[in-house]
Amino acid sequence: MAYFESGNKSKVLDKQCLTCPLGNYQCPVYTVQSLFNFDQMEEGNNKLRQSMLFLVDDAGVCQVKQLLEQSCQDLEQKYRMLHQYAFVLKQLDRKIAAV
């Protein structure tokens, strides 16, 4: 997880949190970052640091937010396809009824 030396550097993550699909719910990524930001840099905590990098990379990009956004886009696309499918079925039903 990105190491933020000060509150100013953590604004990269804060900006992402503002537009996160989780909204106002308690985010586990933000919680882990808040609790272990400094601990990850201590000697002997390499596994903690490596584990945290799965959540937020060194550039400060939240990996979980990216997954959530992709999932939402996939759901929206599936919804549009189902809506189109329902429209086609309705048209087909009308044609059958007209016969």
Tens digit of each residue's pLDDT (9 = 90 or more) over 67-95: 888 887 887 888 888 888 888 888 888 88
Q: What is the pLDDT of residue 3?
A: 58
Percent residues over pLDDT 70 in the chain: 88
Torsion sign (Cα): 30, 32, 34, 39: negative
Q: What is the pLDDT of residue 7?
A: 60
What rounded mean pLDDT belongs to the chain? 78
Per the confidence metrics, is the pTM higher than 0.85?
no
Separation between Cα atoms, residue 52 and residue 34, nearest integer Å: 11
